[in-house]
Amino acid sequence: MADGEAELHRFAHRLGIHRLSYQGPPKTAAPHYDITGLERDRALRMGAIAVSRREIVALYRRVRIPKGSRRLVQAAE
């Protein structure tokens, strides 16, 4: 997870992951890159913080991505 799409792309670039591997709106609500186990290990060594699928789901339940938008906004409570 990144604070924004630009940060996500910069980190992927540092990992050597091609931009064509990016998956984001409108195909998926959660902007991300699918990575291999080796890429994940390298990302963790480079400062990424490991989160579980459960933590990611909990985060996306607290925030929402408006249709057509590419940034996270706080959901109304």
> What are the extents of the domains in the chain?
5-74
pTM of structure: 0.69
- What does each of the 77 residues of the chain score in pLDDT, given as a tens digit? 787 889 999 999 999 999 999 998 888 878 889 899 999 999 999 999 998 889 988 887 777 655 555 554 444 43
b (16+ CB within 10 A) / e for 28-51: eeebebebeeebeebbeeeebeee
